[in-house]
Structure 1
Amino acid sequence: MMQKNISVIISTYNSVEWLKKVLWGYNTQTYKEFEMVIADDGSREDTKQMIDAMREEVSYPIIHVWHEDNGFQKSQILNKALLACTTDYVLMSDGDCIPRPDFVEQHIKYREEGYFLSGGYHKLPMELSKSLSKEDIYSGRCFDVDWLKKNGMATSFKNNKVDAMGIKSAILNMVTTTKPSWNGHNSSGWIKDIKAINGFDERMQYGGQDRELGERLVNLGIIPKQIRYSTICLHLDHPRGYATPESINKNRSIRKVTRTEKRKWTDYGIVK
Protein backbone atom coordinates (compact mmCIF):
# COMPACT_ATOMS: atom_id res chain seq x y z
CA MET A 1 0.00 0.00 0.00
CA MET A 2 1.31 3.43 -0.88
CA GLN A 3 2.13 5.82 1.94
CA LYS A 4 -0.68 8.35 2.37
CA ASN A 5 0.76 11.86 2.17
CA ILE A 6 -2.13 14.12 3.08
CA SER A 7 -4.68 13.91 5.91
CA VAL A 8 -8.17 15.30 5.36
CA ILE A 9 -9.82 16.42 8.62
CA ILE A 10 -13.60 16.69 8.41
CA SER A 11 -15.48 18.16 11.38
CA THR A 12 -18.98 16.90 12.18
CA TYR A 13 -21.71 16.94 14.80
CA ASN A 14 -24.98 14.96 14.55
CA SER A 15 -25.35 15.46 10.82
CA VAL A 16 -25.42 11.93 9.40
CA GLU A 17 -27.07 12.65 6.03
CA TRP A 18 -24.79 15.58 5.21
CA LEU A 19 -21.64 13.73 6.31
CA LYS A 20 -22.58 10.71 4.17
CA LYS A 21 -22.78 12.94 1.05
CA VAL A 22 -19.38 14.42 1.91
CA LEU A 23 -17.80 10.96 2.29
CA TRP A 24 -19.20 10.00 -1.13
CA GLY A 25 -17.57 13.14 -2.53
CA TYR A 26 -14.17 12.04 -1.22
CA ASN A 27 -14.72 8.67 -2.86
CA THR A 28 -14.73 10.42 -6.28
CA GLN A 29 -11.30 12.05 -5.80
CA THR A 30 -8.78 11.90 -8.66
CA TYR A 31 -5.96 11.94 -6.07
CA LYS A 32 -6.25 8.84 -3.88
CA GLU A 33 -3.28 8.96 -1.49
CA PHE A 34 -5.10 10.55 1.45
CA GLU A 35 -6.44 9.45 4.80
CA MET A 36 -9.68 10.76 6.29
CA VAL A 37 -9.77 11.89 9.92
CA ILE A 38 -13.28 12.68 11.17
CA ALA A 39 -13.28 15.20 14.03
CA ASP A 40 -16.55 14.35 15.75
CA ASP A 41 -17.66 16.88 18.37
CA GLY A 42 -19.79 14.38 20.32
CA SER A 43 -22.28 12.95 17.81
CA ARG A 44 -24.76 10.20 18.70
CA GLU A 45 -24.23 6.50 17.90
CA ASP A 46 -25.88 6.79 14.45
CA THR A 47 -22.88 8.79 13.16
CA LYS A 48 -20.48 6.02 14.24
CA GLN A 49 -22.68 3.36 12.62
CA MET A 50 -22.80 5.28 9.33
CA ILE A 51 -18.99 5.75 9.36
CA ASP A 52 -18.48 2.00 10.02
CA ALA A 53 -20.75 1.19 7.07
CA MET A 54 -18.99 3.72 4.79
CA ARG A 55 -15.59 2.16 5.55
CA GLU A 56 -16.80 -0.84 3.52
CA GLU A 57 -17.72 1.37 0.55
CA VAL A 58 -14.97 3.97 0.22
CA SER A 59 -11.42 3.52 -1.06
CA TYR A 60 -9.69 5.60 1.65
CA PRO A 61 -8.98 4.82 5.33
CA ILE A 62 -11.15 6.60 7.93
CA ILE A 63 -9.96 7.49 11.44
CA HIS A 64 -12.90 8.50 13.68
CA VAL A 65 -11.90 10.84 16.54
CA TRP A 66 -14.77 11.42 19.00
CA HIS A 67 -15.25 13.01 22.40
CA GLU A 68 -18.25 13.42 24.74
CA ASP A 69 -20.79 16.07 23.75
CA ASN A 70 -20.00 19.18 25.80
CA GLY A 71 -21.59 21.90 23.67
CA PHE A 72 -19.77 23.45 20.69
CA GLN A 73 -16.13 22.36 21.21
CA LYS A 74 -14.90 22.25 17.63
CA SER A 75 -11.48 23.70 18.53
CA GLN A 76 -10.88 20.87 21.03
CA ILE A 77 -11.87 18.06 18.67
CA LEU A 78 -9.83 19.56 15.80
CA ASN A 79 -6.73 19.55 18.01
CA LYS A 80 -7.38 15.89 18.87
CA ALA A 81 -7.85 15.11 15.17
CA LEU A 82 -4.55 16.86 14.32
CA LEU A 83 -2.76 14.53 16.73
CA ALA A 84 -4.41 11.51 15.05
CA CYS A 85 -3.07 12.40 11.57
CA THR A 86 -0.31 10.10 10.31
CA THR A 87 0.96 12.40 7.51
CA ASP A 88 2.81 15.73 7.56
CA TYR A 89 0.21 17.78 5.65
CA VAL A 90 -3.41 18.49 6.52
CA LEU A 91 -6.44 19.66 4.56
CA MET A 92 -9.35 20.81 6.73
CA SER A 93 -12.97 20.94 5.67
CA ASP A 94 -16.41 20.39 7.16
CA GLY A 95 -18.98 17.63 7.23
CA ASP A 96 -21.30 19.76 5.10
CA CYS A 97 -18.88 20.44 2.21
CA ILE A 98 -18.91 18.09 -0.80
CA PRO A 99 -15.53 18.25 -2.58
CA ARG A 100 -15.19 18.50 -6.36
CA PRO A 101 -13.35 15.42 -7.74
CA ASP A 102 -10.08 17.40 -8.11
CA PHE A 103 -10.30 18.90 -4.60
CA VAL A 104 -7.48 16.96 -2.91
CA GLU A 105 -5.41 16.97 -6.11
CA GLN A 106 -5.47 20.79 -6.26
CA HIS A 107 -4.37 21.10 -2.62
CA ILE A 108 -1.46 18.75 -3.37
CA LYS A 109 -0.60 20.72 -6.52
CA TYR A 110 -0.46 24.12 -4.77
CA ARG A 111 1.05 23.12 -1.44
CA GLU A 112 4.44 24.65 -0.72
CA GLU A 113 6.81 24.98 2.25
CA GLY A 114 6.26 28.27 4.09
CA TYR A 115 2.65 28.67 2.88
CA PHE A 116 -0.88 27.66 3.77
CA LEU A 117 -3.69 27.41 1.21
CA SER A 118 -6.98 29.30 1.46
CA GLY A 119 -9.82 27.75 -0.54
CA GLY A 120 -13.45 28.67 -1.14
CA TYR A 121 -16.89 27.11 -1.16
CA HIS A 122 -20.17 27.48 -2.99
CA LYS A 123 -23.41 27.54 -1.00
CA LEU A 124 -26.36 25.48 -2.13
CA PRO A 125 -29.97 26.26 -1.14
CA MET A 126 -31.63 23.95 1.42
CA GLU A 127 -33.92 22.08 -1.00
CA LEU A 128 -31.05 21.26 -3.33
CA SER A 129 -28.83 20.27 -0.37
CA LYS A 130 -31.50 17.77 0.68
CA SER A 131 -32.22 16.35 -2.77
CA LEU A 132 -28.58 15.73 -3.84
CA SER A 133 -28.26 11.99 -4.23
CA LYS A 134 -25.35 9.55 -4.22
CA GLU A 135 -25.78 9.25 -7.99
CA ASP A 136 -25.61 13.07 -8.40
CA ILE A 137 -22.30 13.04 -6.52
CA TYR A 138 -20.76 9.92 -8.10
CA SER A 139 -21.67 11.05 -11.64
CA GLY A 140 -20.19 14.52 -10.97
CA ARG A 141 -23.31 16.30 -12.24
CA CYS A 142 -23.63 18.20 -8.95
CA PHE A 143 -20.65 20.26 -10.23
CA ASP A 144 -22.41 21.10 -13.50
CA VAL A 145 -23.70 24.69 -13.27
CA ASP A 146 -26.54 24.10 -15.75
CA TRP A 147 -27.70 21.05 -13.81
CA LEU A 148 -27.54 22.97 -10.51
CA LYS A 149 -29.57 25.84 -11.99
CA LYS A 150 -32.21 23.41 -13.27
CA ASN A 151 -32.41 22.07 -9.73
CA GLY A 152 -32.93 25.34 -7.91
CA MET A 153 -29.63 27.22 -7.70
CA ALA A 154 -29.99 30.94 -8.43
CA THR A 155 -27.94 32.62 -11.18
CA SER A 156 -25.00 34.60 -9.78
CA PHE A 157 -21.37 35.53 -10.47
CA LYS A 158 -20.46 33.15 -7.64
CA ASN A 159 -21.52 30.24 -9.86
CA ASN A 160 -18.18 30.74 -11.67
CA LYS A 161 -16.60 29.01 -8.68
CA VAL A 162 -18.33 25.69 -9.31
CA ASP A 163 -16.63 24.77 -12.56
CA ALA A 164 -13.70 27.22 -12.85
CA MET A 165 -10.51 25.40 -13.86
CA GLY A 166 -7.13 26.13 -15.44
CA ILE A 167 -6.56 29.69 -16.68
CA LYS A 168 -10.04 30.83 -15.60
CA SER A 169 -9.52 29.79 -11.98
CA ALA A 170 -5.99 31.29 -11.94
CA ILE A 171 -7.31 34.65 -13.16
CA LEU A 172 -10.22 34.63 -10.68
CA ASN A 173 -7.78 33.81 -7.84
CA MET A 174 -5.69 36.84 -8.84
CA VAL A 175 -8.53 39.35 -9.20
CA THR A 176 -10.65 38.38 -6.19
CA THR A 177 -10.82 41.07 -3.50
CA THR A 178 -11.27 38.43 -0.79
CA LYS A 179 -8.13 38.18 1.32
CA PRO A 180 -6.77 34.66 1.83
CA SER A 181 -7.38 33.39 5.38
CA TRP A 182 -7.55 30.02 7.14
CA ASN A 183 -11.11 28.88 6.38
CA GLY A 184 -12.44 25.92 8.32
CA HIS A 185 -14.34 24.71 5.26
CA ASN A 186 -11.36 24.60 2.88
CA SER A 187 -7.75 25.23 3.93
CA SER A 188 -4.57 23.22 4.11
CA GLY A 189 -1.13 23.51 5.63
CA TRP A 190 1.87 21.72 7.09
CA ILE A 191 1.16 20.01 10.39
CA LYS A 192 4.56 21.12 11.77
CA ASP A 193 3.50 24.78 11.24
CA ILE A 194 0.17 24.24 13.00
CA LYS A 195 1.92 22.49 15.90
CA ALA A 196 4.45 25.36 16.05
CA ILE A 197 1.56 27.71 17.01
CA ASN A 198 -0.05 25.06 19.29
CA GLY A 199 -3.09 24.40 17.11
CA PHE A 200 -6.53 25.87 17.74
CA ASP A 201 -7.29 28.09 20.75
CA GLU A 202 -9.71 25.94 22.76
CA ARG A 203 -11.25 28.93 24.52
CA MET A 204 -12.86 29.76 21.19
CA GLN A 205 -16.26 28.35 20.35
CA TYR A 206 -18.32 29.31 17.31
CA GLY A 207 -17.14 32.25 15.21
CA GLY A 208 -13.72 32.75 13.72
CA GLN A 209 -11.58 30.16 15.50
CA ASP A 210 -10.28 29.05 12.10
CA ARG A 211 -9.38 32.63 11.12
CA GLU A 212 -7.54 33.11 14.43
CA LEU A 213 -5.43 30.02 13.72
CA GLY A 214 -4.54 31.55 10.34
CA GLU A 215 -3.64 34.87 11.96
CA ARG A 216 -1.15 33.10 14.24
CA LEU A 217 0.30 31.21 11.26
CA VAL A 218 0.83 34.58 9.52
CA ASN A 219 2.48 35.94 12.69
CA LEU A 220 4.80 32.91 12.50
CA GLY A 221 5.78 33.97 8.97
CA ILE A 222 3.63 31.49 7.02
CA ILE A 223 2.17 33.12 3.90
CA PRO A 224 -1.44 32.48 2.89
CA LYS A 225 -1.99 31.51 -0.76
CA GLN A 226 -5.33 32.30 -2.43
CA ILE A 227 -6.84 29.28 -4.22
CA ARG A 228 -10.56 29.88 -3.69
CA TYR A 229 -11.38 29.33 -7.36
CA SER A 230 -9.14 26.24 -7.71
CA THR A 231 -10.38 24.05 -4.86
CA ILE A 232 -14.14 23.89 -4.81
CA CYS A 233 -16.60 22.33 -2.42
CA LEU A 234 -20.39 22.60 -2.35
CA HIS A 235 -21.62 23.83 1.02
CA LEU A 236 -24.86 22.11 2.10
CA ASP A 237 -27.29 24.40 3.89
CA HIS A 238 -28.14 24.00 7.59
CA PRO A 239 -29.31 26.06 10.58
CA ARG A 240 -26.63 27.39 12.97
CA GLY A 241 -28.12 27.14 16.44
CA TYR A 242 -24.72 27.40 18.10
CA ALA A 243 -23.92 30.91 16.79
CA THR A 244 -24.43 32.95 19.95
CA PRO A 245 -23.56 36.65 20.33
CA GLU A 246 -21.52 35.73 23.47
CA SER A 247 -19.25 33.27 21.67
CA ILE A 248 -18.79 35.61 18.71
CA ASN A 249 -17.88 38.58 20.93
CA LYS A 250 -15.50 36.50 23.08
CA ASN A 251 -13.76 35.26 19.94
CA ARG A 252 -13.49 38.77 18.51
CA SER A 253 -11.62 39.93 21.59
CA ILE A 254 -9.23 36.91 21.45
CA ARG A 255 -8.54 37.63 17.77
CA LYS A 256 -7.91 41.29 18.52
CA VAL A 257 -5.18 40.33 21.03
CA THR A 258 -3.67 37.86 18.53
CA ARG A 259 -3.44 40.60 15.91
CA THR A 260 -2.32 43.55 18.01
CA GLU A 261 0.27 41.56 20.00
CA LYS A 262 1.32 39.54 16.92
CA ARG A 263 0.86 36.33 18.90
CA LYS A 264 2.08 33.05 17.39
CA TRP A 265 1.37 30.70 20.28
CA THR A 266 -1.79 30.02 22.26
CA ASP A 267 -1.54 28.67 25.82
CA TYR A 268 -4.95 27.04 25.26
CA GLY A 269 -4.11 24.71 22.38
CA ILE A 270 -2.74 21.19 21.84
CA VAL A 271 -0.10 21.52 24.59
CA LYS A 272 -1.78 22.64 27.81
Structure 2
Amino acid sequence: MNLANASVIISTFNQPHWLQKVLWGYEAQTTKDFEIIIADDGSDFQTKKIINDFKASSTITVHHIWQPDEGFQKTKILNKAVLQANSAYLIFTDGDCIPRNDFVETHLKLKQPHCFLSGGYFKLTDSISKAITKQDIDDQNCFKWGWLRARGLKKTFKVNKLSAFGFKAWFLNTFTTTKATFDGMNVSGWKKDILEVNGFDERMQYGGEDREIGERLMLKGIRFKQVRYSTVCLHLYHERPYKNLEALLKNKAIRKQTRRSRQFITKHGIKKLSQVE
Protein backbone atom coordinates (compact mmCIF):
# COMPACT_ATOMS: atom_id res chain seq x y z
CA MET A 1 0.00 0.00 0.00
CA ASN A 2 1.39 3.40 -1.02
CA LEU A 3 0.98 5.91 1.77
CA ALA A 4 0.13 9.53 1.03
CA ASN A 5 2.58 12.25 1.99
CA ALA A 6 -0.02 13.81 4.29
CA SER A 7 -3.36 13.17 5.93
CA VAL A 8 -5.53 16.30 5.98
CA ILE A 9 -7.89 16.06 8.95
CA ILE A 10 -10.93 18.34 8.52
CA SER A 11 -13.27 18.79 11.50
CA THR A 12 -16.89 19.62 10.75
CA PHE A 13 -20.38 19.82 12.23
CA ASN A 14 -23.51 20.64 10.21
CA GLN A 15 -21.96 23.16 7.80
CA PRO A 16 -22.43 21.28 4.51
CA HIS A 17 -22.34 24.33 2.22
CA TRP A 18 -19.12 25.58 3.79
CA LEU A 19 -17.62 22.08 3.73
CA GLN A 20 -18.36 21.80 0.03
CA LYS A 21 -16.33 24.96 -0.68
CA VAL A 22 -13.51 23.63 1.48
CA LEU A 23 -13.44 20.35 -0.44
CA TRP A 24 -13.32 22.29 -3.72
CA GLY A 25 -10.23 23.99 -2.26
CA TYR A 26 -8.54 20.63 -1.75
CA GLU A 27 -9.46 19.50 -5.25
CA ALA A 28 -7.56 22.59 -6.51
CA GLN A 29 -4.31 21.79 -4.63
CA THR A 30 -1.00 21.90 -6.51
CA THR A 31 -0.19 18.45 -5.12
CA LYS A 32 -2.63 15.56 -4.92
CA ASP A 33 -0.41 13.32 -2.78
CA PHE A 34 -2.58 13.47 0.31
CA GLU A 35 -5.68 11.89 1.76
CA ILE A 36 -8.61 13.67 3.42
CA ILE A 37 -10.12 12.51 6.69
CA ILE A 38 -13.33 14.29 7.63
CA ALA A 39 -13.77 14.28 11.41
CA ASP A 40 -17.53 14.70 11.69
CA ASP A 41 -18.91 15.47 15.17
CA GLY A 42 -22.47 14.31 14.46
CA SER A 43 -23.62 16.09 11.28
CA ASP A 44 -26.87 15.10 9.57
CA PHE A 45 -27.43 13.53 6.14
CA GLN A 46 -26.73 16.77 4.22
CA THR A 47 -23.05 16.62 5.15
CA LYS A 48 -22.86 12.94 4.20
CA LYS A 49 -24.33 13.75 0.77
CA ILE A 50 -21.78 16.53 0.15
CA ILE A 51 -18.96 14.13 1.05
CA ASN A 52 -20.31 11.25 -1.05
CA ASP A 53 -20.80 13.52 -4.08
CA PHE A 54 -17.23 14.80 -3.72
CA LYS A 55 -15.83 11.27 -3.39
CA ALA A 56 -17.66 10.24 -6.56
CA SER A 57 -16.06 13.01 -8.62
CA SER A 58 -12.59 13.30 -7.06
CA THR A 59 -9.42 11.22 -7.32
CA ILE A 60 -8.47 12.18 -3.73
CA THR A 61 -8.98 9.46 -1.14
CA VAL A 62 -11.57 10.63 1.40
CA HIS A 63 -12.48 8.95 4.70
CA HIS A 64 -15.60 10.10 6.56
CA ILE A 65 -15.32 9.46 10.31
CA TRP A 66 -18.65 10.13 12.05
CA GLN A 67 -19.95 9.96 15.61
CA PRO A 68 -23.45 10.70 17.00
CA ASP A 69 -24.24 14.27 18.01
CA GLU A 70 -23.81 14.43 21.78
CA GLY A 71 -22.89 18.09 22.04
CA PHE A 72 -19.46 19.54 21.32
CA GLN A 73 -17.18 16.46 21.21
CA LYS A 74 -14.59 17.65 18.70
CA THR A 75 -11.63 16.22 20.63
CA LYS A 76 -13.13 12.73 20.54
CA ILE A 77 -13.70 12.72 16.78
CA LEU A 78 -10.23 14.16 16.18
CA ASN A 79 -8.67 11.29 18.14
CA LYS A 80 -10.60 8.82 15.99
CA ALA A 81 -9.40 10.62 12.86
CA VAL A 82 -5.77 10.52 14.01
CA LEU A 83 -6.00 6.74 14.39
CA GLN A 84 -7.51 6.47 10.91
CA ALA A 85 -4.71 8.48 9.27
CA ASN A 86 -2.51 6.49 6.89
CA SER A 87 0.24 9.12 6.68
CA ALA A 88 3.05 9.90 9.11
CA TYR A 89 2.36 13.63 8.66
CA LEU A 90 -0.94 15.24 9.67
CA ILE A 91 -2.46 18.58 8.67
CA PHE A 92 -5.32 19.72 10.92
CA THR A 93 -7.92 22.20 9.68
CA ASP A 94 -11.63 23.00 9.91
CA GLY A 95 -14.57 22.54 7.55
CA ASP A 96 -15.01 26.31 7.27
CA CYS A 97 -11.46 27.08 6.05
CA ILE A 98 -10.86 27.12 2.28
CA PRO A 99 -7.19 26.35 1.54
CA ARG A 100 -5.21 28.28 -1.04
CA ASN A 101 -4.00 25.97 -3.80
CA ASP A 102 -0.48 25.72 -2.33
CA PHE A 103 -1.71 24.95 1.22
CA VAL A 104 -0.80 21.25 1.37
CA GLU A 105 2.36 21.65 -0.71
CA THR A 106 3.63 24.45 1.57
CA HIS A 107 2.94 22.49 4.77
CA LEU A 108 4.89 19.56 3.31
CA LYS A 109 7.72 21.75 2.03
CA LEU A 110 8.21 23.42 5.44
CA LYS A 111 7.85 20.32 7.66
CA GLN A 112 10.72 19.48 10.01
CA PRO A 113 11.47 16.72 12.54
CA HIS A 114 10.36 17.42 16.14
CA CYS A 115 8.42 20.47 14.91
CA PHE A 116 4.82 21.51 14.33
CA LEU A 117 3.86 24.28 11.90
CA SER A 118 1.48 26.93 13.23
CA GLY A 119 -0.65 28.64 10.59
CA GLY A 120 -3.55 31.05 10.73
CA TYR A 121 -6.53 32.17 8.66
CA PHE A 122 -7.94 35.18 6.85
CA LYS A 123 -11.44 35.98 8.09
CA LEU A 124 -14.25 36.74 5.66
CA THR A 125 -17.61 38.41 6.14
CA ASP A 126 -20.87 36.50 5.79
CA SER A 127 -21.72 38.07 2.42
CA ILE A 128 -18.30 37.32 0.90
CA SER A 129 -18.35 33.78 2.31
CA LYS A 130 -21.66 33.16 0.53
CA ALA A 131 -20.47 34.80 -2.70
CA ILE A 132 -17.55 32.43 -3.28
CA THR A 133 -18.22 29.95 -6.09
CA LYS A 134 -16.36 26.86 -7.28
CA GLN A 135 -15.02 28.90 -10.18
CA ASP A 136 -13.63 31.51 -7.77
CA ILE A 137 -11.79 28.72 -5.95
CA ASP A 138 -10.58 27.02 -9.14
CA ASP A 139 -9.26 30.37 -10.44
CA GLN A 140 -8.02 31.39 -6.95
CA ASN A 141 -9.74 34.78 -7.34
CA CYS A 142 -11.08 34.67 -3.78
CA PHE A 143 -7.50 34.78 -2.46
CA LYS A 144 -6.77 38.02 -4.31
CA TRP A 145 -7.15 41.38 -2.58
CA GLY A 146 -8.74 43.05 -5.61
CA TRP A 147 -11.54 40.47 -5.70
CA LEU A 148 -12.19 40.82 -1.97
CA ARG A 149 -12.05 44.63 -2.07
CA ALA A 150 -14.59 44.72 -4.89
CA ARG A 151 -16.96 42.84 -2.58
CA GLY A 152 -16.63 45.29 0.27
CA LEU A 153 -13.81 43.96 2.43
CA LYS A 154 -11.92 46.64 4.35
CA LYS A 155 -8.14 46.68 4.05
CA THR A 156 -6.09 45.93 7.16
CA PHE A 157 -2.55 44.70 7.83
CA LYS A 158 -3.92 41.14 7.69
CA VAL A 159 -4.17 41.43 3.89
CA ASN A 160 -0.45 40.62 3.97
CA LYS A 161 -1.45 37.01 4.67
CA LEU A 162 -2.71 36.86 1.08
CA SER A 163 0.11 38.77 -0.60
CA ALA A 164 3.26 37.62 1.22
CA PHE A 165 5.59 35.28 -0.65
CA GLY A 166 9.29 34.54 -0.53
CA PHE A 167 11.35 36.86 1.65
CA LYS A 168 8.30 38.90 2.72
CA ALA A 169 6.53 35.78 4.02
CA TRP A 170 9.69 34.64 5.83
CA PHE A 171 10.16 38.08 7.40
CA LEU A 172 6.55 38.34 8.61
CA ASN A 173 6.54 34.75 9.91
CA THR A 174 9.80 35.34 11.76
CA PHE A 175 9.03 38.69 13.33
CA THR A 176 5.29 38.47 14.00
CA THR A 177 4.31 39.02 17.62
CA THR A 178 1.73 36.21 17.34
CA LYS A 179 2.93 33.16 19.24
CA ALA A 180 3.19 29.86 17.38
CA THR A 181 0.61 27.53 18.93
CA PHE A 182 -1.58 24.55 18.05
CA ASP A 183 -4.48 26.29 16.29
CA GLY A 184 -6.74 23.56 14.97
CA MET A 185 -7.82 25.40 11.84
CA ASN A 186 -4.29 25.39 10.37
CA VAL A 187 -1.54 23.34 12.00
CA SER A 188 0.57 20.37 10.95
CA GLY A 189 2.94 17.90 12.53
CA TRP A 190 3.83 14.27 13.04
CA LYS A 191 1.36 11.53 13.90
CA LYS A 192 3.88 9.81 16.18
CA ASP A 193 4.14 12.95 18.32
CA ILE A 194 0.34 13.17 18.63
CA LEU A 195 0.23 9.51 19.69
CA GLU A 196 3.07 9.96 22.19
CA VAL A 197 1.07 12.60 24.09
CA ASN A 198 -2.03 10.35 23.83
CA GLY A 199 -3.89 12.66 21.48
CA PHE A 200 -6.45 15.29 22.40
CA ASP A 201 -7.84 15.52 25.94
CA GLU A 202 -11.45 14.37 25.50
CA ARG A 203 -12.68 16.33 28.53
CA MET A 204 -12.15 19.56 26.60
CA GLN A 205 -15.12 21.45 25.20
CA TYR A 206 -15.03 24.50 22.91
CA GLY A 207 -12.37 27.08 23.72
CA GLY A 208 -8.67 26.24 23.80
CA GLU A 209 -9.15 22.51 23.23
CA ASP A 210 -6.49 22.62 20.52
CA ARG A 211 -4.14 24.86 22.52
CA GLU A 212 -4.08 22.24 25.30
CA ILE A 213 -2.59 19.52 23.12
CA GLY A 214 -0.11 22.07 21.82
CA GLU A 215 1.00 22.85 25.35
CA ARG A 216 1.56 19.14 26.03
CA LEU A 217 3.52 18.76 22.81
CA MET A 218 5.73 21.64 23.92
CA LEU A 219 6.25 19.97 27.30
CA LYS A 220 7.37 16.89 25.34
CA GLY A 221 10.00 19.03 23.61
CA ILE A 222 8.26 19.72 20.31
CA ARG A 223 9.04 23.09 18.72
CA PHE A 224 6.30 25.19 17.12
CA LYS A 225 7.20 27.27 14.07
CA GLN A 226 5.14 30.23 12.83
CA VAL A 227 3.99 29.93 9.17
CA ARG A 228 0.85 32.09 9.19
CA TYR A 229 1.98 34.10 6.15
CA SER A 230 2.83 30.98 4.12
CA THR A 231 0.02 28.44 4.69
CA VAL A 232 -3.05 30.44 3.72
CA CYS A 233 -6.72 29.61 4.20
CA LEU A 234 -9.91 31.68 4.14
CA HIS A 235 -12.17 31.42 7.17
CA LEU A 236 -15.86 31.39 6.20
CA TYR A 237 -18.21 33.27 8.48
CA HIS A 238 -20.36 31.47 11.05
CA GLU A 239 -21.86 31.90 14.50
CA ARG A 240 -20.66 29.86 17.50
CA PRO A 241 -23.77 28.69 19.39
CA TYR A 242 -21.72 26.05 21.25
CA LYS A 243 -19.61 28.70 23.02
CA ASN A 244 -20.40 28.96 26.74
CA LEU A 245 -18.71 30.30 29.85
CA GLU A 246 -18.89 27.07 31.86
CA ALA A 247 -16.96 25.13 29.21
CA LEU A 248 -14.40 27.90 28.84
CA LEU A 249 -13.72 27.92 32.58
CA LYS A 250 -13.44 24.12 32.67
CA ASN A 251 -10.99 24.15 29.76
CA LYS A 252 -8.96 26.90 31.40
CA ALA A 253 -8.67 24.80 34.56
CA ILE A 254 -7.53 21.73 32.59
CA ARG A 255 -4.88 23.76 30.78
CA LYS A 256 -3.68 25.25 34.06
CA GLN A 257 -3.31 21.76 35.54
CA THR A 258 -1.41 20.61 32.46
CA ARG A 259 1.10 23.41 32.84
CA ARG A 260 1.40 22.88 36.60
CA SER A 261 1.91 19.11 36.42
CA ARG A 262 4.18 19.29 33.36
CA GLN A 263 2.74 15.92 32.26
CA PHE A 264 2.65 15.73 28.47
CA ILE A 265 0.56 12.53 28.38
CA THR A 266 -3.15 13.01 29.05
CA LYS A 267 -5.10 10.30 30.89
CA HIS A 268 -8.19 11.27 28.87
CA GLY A 269 -7.00 10.84 25.31
CA ILE A 270 -6.83 8.09 22.70
CA LYS A 271 -5.98 5.49 25.36
CA LYS A 272 -7.82 5.88 28.64
CA LEU A 273 -5.08 5.61 31.25
CA SER A 274 -5.56 4.80 34.93
CA GLN A 275 -2.32 6.59 35.64
CA VAL A 276 0.38 8.52 33.84
CA GLU A 277 3.79 6.93 34.19
Could you tell me whether the CA contact under 8 Å between 1:122 and 1:158 is conserved in 2?
yes
The count of corresponding residues between Structure 1 and Structure 2 is 272
Q: Classify the secondary structure of the residue corresponding to 1:70.
A: coil
Change (3 A) 1:2 1:265: closer
1:113 aligned residue: 113
2:275 aligned residue: none
Query: Separation in 1 of the partners of 2:2 and 2:158?
Result: 37
Shift of 1:56: 2.0
2:261 aligned residue: 261
2:48 aligned residue: 48
1:186 aligned residue: 186
Shift of 1:166: 1.1
Q: Classify the secondary structure of the residue corresponding to 1:225.
A: strand
Q: Classify the secondary structure of the residue corresponding to 1:238.
A: coil
Aligned residues: CA RMSD: 1.0
Query: Separation in 2 of the partners of 1:2 and 1:120?
Result: 30
Partner amino acid, structure 2, of 1:199: G
Could you tell me whether the CA contact under 8 Å between 2:205 and 2:247 is conserved in 1?
yes
2:200 aligned residue: 200
Partner amino acid, structure 2, of 1:137: I
Query: Separation in 2 of the partners of 1:127 and 1:95?
Result: 18
Could you tell me whether the CA contact under 8 Å between 2:39 and 2:81 is conserved in 1?
yes
Partner amino acid, structure 2, of 1:201: D
Indicate whether 1:243 and 2:243 are aligned: yes
Shift of 1:48: 0.7
2:65 aligned residue: 65
Q: Classify the secondary structure of the residue corresponding to 2:193.
A: helix
Could you tell me whether the CA contact under 8 Å between 1:2 and 1:33 is conserved in 2?
no
Change (3 A) 1:151 1:59: farther
Point out 4+ residue stretches in structure 1 off by more than 3 angstroms: none
1:170 aligned residue: 170
Shift of 1:260: 1.9
* Structure 1, unpaired ranges of 5+: none
Could you tell me whether the CA contact under 8 Å between 1:24 and 1:58 is conserved in 2?
no
Shift of 1:165: 1.2
Q: Residues 1-272 of structure 1: matches in 2 within 5 Å?
A: 3-272=3-272
Query: Separation in 1 of the partners of 2:217 and 2:110?
Result: 18
The CA deviation string for residues 203-258 of structure 1, in whole angstroms up to 9 with x for no partner, is 00100010000000000000001111110100001000001001111000101111
Query: Separation in 2 of the partners of 1:129 and 1:2?
Result: 36
- Range that drifts further, 88-97 or 259-268: 259-268
Query: Separation in 1 of the partners of 2:163 and 2:242?
Result: 32
Partner amino acid, structure 1, of 2:62: I
Could you tell me whether the CA contact under 8 Å between 2:7 and 2:36 is conserved in 1?
yes
TM-score by length of 2: 0.96
Query: Separation in 2 of the partners of 1:2 and 1:60?
Result: 13
Shift of 1:28: 0.8
Query: Separation in 2 of the partners of 1:175 and 1:81?
Result: 34
Query: Separation in 1 of the partners of 2:120 and 2:202?
Result: 24
- Range that drifts further, 44-53 or 34-43: 44-53
Partner amino acid, structure 2, of 1:246: E
TM-score by length of 1: 0.98
The CA deviation string for residues 134-185 of structure 1, in whole angstroms up to 9 with x for no partner, is 1111111011111111112111000110131111110100110001000000
Partner amino acid, structure 1, of 2:96: D
Query: Separation in 1 of the partners of 2:63 and 2:214?
Result: 25
Could you tell me whether the CA contact under 8 Å between 1:18 and 1:96 is conserved in 2?
yes
Shift of 1:2: 5.5
Query: Separation in 1 of the partners of 2:46 and 2:92?
Result: 23
Identity of aligned residues (%): 52
